[in-house]
Amino acid sequence: MASLSLITPSPEIRDELHRRGGDTARRCFQCATCSAVCSLAPDDQPFPRRQMLMAQWGQIDRLAADPAVWLCHQCNDCTVRCPRNARPGDVLQAVRSMVIEGLAAPAWLGRLVGKARSTWPLLLGAPILFWVVLLGLTGHLAWPAHVTAFEQVVPHVLIYSVFLPVAAWVLAVVFIEGGRFWAFLGSSSPPRRGSFFGALLPVLGEIGTHRRFARCEAARPRRTGHFLLMWGFVGAAVTSGLLVVALYGFGMEMPLPLGHPFKILGNLSAIALVVGVVLLVVERWSQPRVSGATTAFDTFFLTVVFLVVATGVLSEVARLTLPGQVAGGVYVAHLSFVLTLFLSFPYSKFAHALYRTLAMTHERMTAAE
């Protein structure tokens, strides 16, 4: 495991955890209330008391190989009940951010996104600059006074020639990081049994229904927001795939009419994303104790999702009601934020989708019969 071999138990690691919002770990006096109240922890492998001890000692390698770190859904039931306000939910979140950065490929991109607080302007600004330069170089910066289709702003061929290679690259990174994590998980657990895909399928069903999340009490509103956000992303991804097929496979005219099934799926996904983001942001503002500490790791991801959703909706409104230059600008901003979201996926909080899925699959494959 290339990157994490550099990380050894040390006061520096402990300090890094503190910097990421895990500073409350030092208050823990090992009473185990958290493990007792966590409804997601299995009886034979309770968490997060043990993980709090590892965090206090800065044992990031042991934490990185511990599936419990990802089986935690940060519902913060334990945080609310902890008599020392050691905030175990936040500590595990800080650990997750360190593991994501430690396993990142390439490592420098992991560091860039991991330090999001100081690199926000670059992460959000560079894709905007990229699109403006690309459109300028290809002669597509002179938009009509009234935009009837976004094809007039950025041709589809340009969009796909950017996003398809980016998607392929992200997929390759996901395989590398997932492989590293899988090897790490296997190094410290009982041997896995059965087939990977045989275990993965029920895990996907569990994730799709958020069955496990439903067992957490303190964060019920967050479950709904998370559920909508997840299915909004899935719907948006499926719609994008269908549009590629419709455009290049069947030569269909864009934009599609409002009543077209692809358009309906796209709009329903957009609604799910909007409602999901609003629920999560409102819950974060109104219940900070339950939502967890606000860190750059958290806010960067939520902010990018918010910007993607907001500019996506605004693009459609601006196309119908505002001058072409404004609509074009909003649309280019939207594409830029989507690019940031894509590129930062393996390094931001978004990557929990990969790591948690693998940890749940590993858990199923190592469960006692």
Of the candidates 155, 152, 162, the residue with the CA atom closest to the CA atom of residue 327? 152
Chosen residue from 52, 185, 277, 296 binding ligand SF4 by CB under 6 A: 52
Which pair of structure tokens corresponds to residue 37? Answer: 């109240």
Residues 194-233 that bind ligand SF4 (CB under 6 A): 216
Q: What is the number of other CB atoms lying within 10 angstroms of the CB of residue 256?
A: 17
Q: Does 307 bind ligand SF4 (CB under 6 A)?
A: no
Chosen residue from 48, 114, 276, 346 binding ligand SF4 by CB under 6 A: 48
Residues 243-302 that bind ligand SF4 (CB under 6 A): none
Length of the chain equals 369
Chosen residue from 29, 169, 175, 285 binding ligand SF4 by CB under 6 A: 29
Shortest distance, CB of residue 224 to ligand SF4, whole angstroms? 16
Q: Does 58 bind ligand SF4 (CB under 6 A)?
A: no
Span interacting with ligand SF4, options 6-14, 32-40, 195-203, 267-275, rule CB under 6 A: 32-40
Shortest distance, CB of residue 60 to ligand SF4, whole angstroms? 18
Q: Does 40 bind ligand SF4 (CB under 6 A)?
A: yes
Which pair of structure tokens corresponds to residue 256? Answer: 């599609």
Q: What is the number of other CB atoms lying within 10 angstroms of the CB of residue 348?
A: 26
Q: Does 17 bind ligand SF4 (CB under 6 A)?
A: no
Chosen residue from 14, 20, 49, 352 binding ligand SF4 by CB under 6 A: 49
The Cα–Cα gap between 317 and 148 comes to 12
Residues 69-88 that bind ligand SF4 (CB under 6 A): 72-78, 82, 84, 86, 88
Find out whether 153 and 327 touch, Cβ atoms under 8 Å.
Answer: yes
Return all residues near 47 (Cβ < 8 A) that are at least 6 apart.
Answer: 35, 38, 41, 68, 71, 72
Chosen residue from 9, 19, 33, 119 binding ligand SF4 by CB under 6 A: 33
Return all residues near 60 (Cβ < 8 A) that are at least 6 apart.
Answer: 4, 7, 9, 13, 17, 95, 98, 99, 102
Enumerate the H helices of the chain as residue ranges. Answer: 11-17, 33-37, 49-56, 60-64, 68-71, 77-81, 88-102, 107-114, 116-137, 156-186, 196-209, 220-244, 261-286, 288-291, 296-321, 324-344, 352-366
Size of the site for ligand SF4 (CB under 6 A): 28
Chosen residue from 28, 104, 112, 229 binding ligand SF4 by CB under 6 A: 28
Decide whether 73 or 319 has the Cβ nearer to ligand SF4.
Answer: 73
Shortest distance, CB of residue 70 to ligand SF4, whole angstroms? 10
The Cα–Cα gap between 368 and 359 comes to 16
Q: Does 333 bind ligand SF4 (CB under 6 A)?
A: no
Decide whether 41 or 153 has the Cβ nearer to ligand SF4.
Answer: 41
Q: What is the number of other CB atoms lying within 10 angstroms of the CB of residue 209?
A: 11
Span interacting with ligand SF4, options 42-50, 280-288, 302-310, 324-332, rule CB under 6 A: 42-50
Contact footprint for ligand SF4 (CB under 6 A): 28-34, 38, 40-41, 47-49, 52, 72-78, 82, 84, 86, 88-89, 92, 216
